[in-house]
Amino acid sequence: MCGIIGYVGPRPSQDILISGLARLEYRGYDSAGIAVIDGEGGLGTRKRAGKLQVLRDDLAAHPLADGTTGIGHTRWATHGGPTDANAHPHLADDDKLAVIHNGIIENFAELKSELVAEGYTFRSETDTEVAAVLLGREYQASGDLVEAFRATVSRLEGAFTLLALHRDQPGLVVGARRNSPLVIGLGDGENFLGSDVAAFVEHTRHALAIGQDEIVAITPQEVTVTDFSGDAVDVEPFEVVWDAAAADKGGWSSFMAKEVSEEPEAVANTIRGRVHDGLVQIPELDGLDELFTGIDRVIVIACGTAAYAGMVGKYALEQWARVPVDVELAHEFRYRDPVIGPRTLVVSISQSGETMDTLMAVKYAREAGAKTLSICNTQGATIPRESDAIVYTHAGPEVAVASTKAFVAQITALYLLALHVGRVRGALTDEAIAEQVAQLEAVPEKIARVLAGEQEHIEQFAHWMADTRSVIFLGRHVGYPIALEGALKLKEISYIHAEGFAAGELKHGPIALIEPGQPVFVMVPSPTSSPLLHAKVVSNIQEIRARGARIIAVAEEGDAAVLPFADEVLRIPLAEPLFEPLLAVVPLHIFAMGLATAKGLDVDQPRNLAKSVTVE
């Protein structure tokens, strides 16, 4: 969950490190630090608890001597609280060696005991310092940073990306990864390392993805990748398809505001290039028809918002591809001994492609003989490389911790997958596919209409509700996962109690929560395309309104039946049932953002959270 960057080249490294950390701060913002080998051969470090600006201010007041080799880190705390002492980098070998780390070293206590017995001392509560001290000991023995690194990582258990530099070897940064992200940026006479491409995209779009249990050494002119045994390995090059400007606010008040505004574009870009003559053709899946015809079951695995996208996708896969689908939380999946085999397709969903729970579940599924397919937004990520097939979303970089545009892009990718599998399996005619594709292609313009027509209204009543302490969300059919998503967004960035329920569950317990003034968002199905569900949801509204609830209905244009029972109506354009989630979720994203803003909270960096969960 931490952000890391390494640089070697001709330019002053501090500016590169700080700008890279600014683009990585969504990965953790408990503390930040840098280490630089200066032009005189000295190693200077600075680290501070708090957000990156605290470090910036410190460096402005007390500059470090600059150099052309450096590493930087922004932290989401695991071992040890967010203090100056626990911030990275950590030093060893008489403060000549600096180490930064993303992940958790599970056997750190055992290693620390061994090192303490040898007389080594520690200045922090972190597992990272154990790795640094161990690396320092190995370097004293070999005098070679790469070989010392190899000896060190062979002793470590858990998930980690480590970067290190040593004062005696300027112009060299060494990194290693196991179950944690690391990518290489290739420049002209300079090279970069980063936990994702955002670290260096303003300098180069040329990148290399390194694999599991591999070590990389970068100098200004060379990149060398070996496995933990020292054998050379091939690395996979790729081009970053977005530029640095895509990860800037661009004048918006927050990244979340910008990303909500980009939801139409995220859907359109995920569709683009995958529809030809009314039929879905996904280039990444060419030649894989046998994979889809050979399955008799699909299991979708994901966490958080991605799991709710999977729940929406379940309806499309079952309706269009006629294959049974289960949706499971990735962190529960592999611990319950699931029944899977060669005729099971496990579909993982992860914006970052590095979500540790999901990665471990994918590995478990492959080892059990299942086929695996990843839906991911990030090039060079680990989960796609561990999967048999990949469908990329094209939402562009998402910086705000609370996911918005990636969510609608994930649903779109699942719909494309469902239509593709439906064609391959013969469950849909070309005419039926063309009909659904036409509706999907109309979604971006409809989302834009919601943003244009409802945003000011929603932000206004969100401001009125700034003192609200609890909100309930209700939905049926595809509206149920949207209710869950609406509640999650409110919890993430507004820090108030929020729950999403299937509307049919009301009388089975949750109606006891209703008291006078209780705000309840209701996802109202279309009265034209879903008349039976519409009638049932209107009945639910009447039940809770009779008990004093305040109703905020998300309903399609022209639905007059909800007007007598709703205190607020948020309108969405007409759409068939399966396409309503892509529209109904937009007012909920706006509302969560508006309420958090009204409370004076940081919508981009909510407390205790980070964007990419790379530890279990």
Active site positions, annotated = 2, 611
* Helix/strand/coil percent split, the chain, to 5: 40, 25, 35
Angle, helices 263-271/580-598, rounded to nearest 10 degrees: 150
* Residue 454 identity: E
If DSSP states are collapsed to H, E and C, what string results for 448-500? HHHHHHHHHHHHHHHHHCCCCCEEEEEECCCHHHHHHHHHHHHHHHHCCEEEE
In the chain, the largest separation of any two C-alpha atoms, in whole Å, equals: 80
Instruction: Give, rounded to a whole angstrom, the gap between the first and last alpha carbons of the chain.
Output: 10
Give the separation between CA 66 and CA 37, rounded to whole angstroms: 7
How distant is the alpha carbon of residue 502 from its chain centre? 26
Report which of 552, 582, 554, 581 is spatially closest to residue 567, judged by C-alpha positions.
552
- Half-sphere CA count of 440, side-chain side, radius 13 A: 31
Q: Residues 584, 587, 593, CA angle at the centre, nearest 5°? A: 140
Give the separation between CA 72 and CA 213, rounded to whole angstroms: 22
Give the separation between CA 447 and CA 278, rounded to whole angstroms: 21
Q: Give me the residue label for tokens 């509700």.
A: 465
Report in angstroms the alpha-carbon separations of 189 from 37, 67, 103, 219, 238: 18, 15, 30, 9, 19
Phi, psi at 380, each rounded to 5° = 75, 10
Give the separation between CA 592 and CA 614, rounded to whole angstroms: 25
